[in-house]
Amino acid sequence: MERILIIESDWYFSAKLCYEIDAAGYLPTAAFSLEKAKQLMQADWFSLILSELQVSDGSGLELCCRAGKQKTGSGGSRLLLMAEHPAQPETERALLEALELGAEDYIAKPFGMNSF
């Protein structure tokens, strides 16, 4: 079963994502901070990392390089960022930087579960 790491500081939204991802047949793991996410990424491999751009204790940009370095037979983890107001200049710059650093894509919040 594929493992998905969700890094989201809003408990309710994180729980909803975990529920939907589990219902789709994947194994979700939630982290509410970058520090916890880093610990989880050191201990285990995730096929997908779904992270807020701005987490409570830092920037999701920190995860871009880490995700690509997770080693398995098939390479690193894929990283998808979630961002509110992606059209704002500072958010847009951060998302472009994330894509250059290795993020796979981003999704604008709020979004419906059918967006995946």
What integer pLDDT is reported at residue 102 of this predicted model? 79
The residues with which 95 forms a beta bridge, in sequence order, are: none
Model confidence over 10-36: pLDDT tens digits?
999 999 999 999 999 999 999 999 999
| Residue 107 near residue 85, CB atoms below 8 Å | no
Looking at the chain, the whole-number percentage of residues with pLDDT higher than 90 is 29
Q: Where are the domains of the chain?
A: 3-115
* Backbone region of residue 112 per phi and psi (left: phi > 0; alpha: psi in -120 to 50; beta: other values): beta
**Which two three-digit tokens encode residue 65?**
């390089």
Query: What amino acid occupies position 20?
Result: E
What is the pTM assigned to this prediction? 0.82
CA 32 distance to own-chain centroid:
11
Query: What does pLDDT average to over the chain?
Result: 83
The structure tokens listed for 82 are: 């979630």
**Superfamily name and number for 3-115:** Response regulator (3.40.50.2300)
How confident is the model over 33-86, as pLDDT tens digits? 999 998 998 888 899 899 888 888 888 888 776 666 654 445 667 888 877 777
Euclidean distance between the first and final Cα of the chain, in Å?
18
Rounded to whole angstroms, how far apart are CA atoms 33 and 47? 19
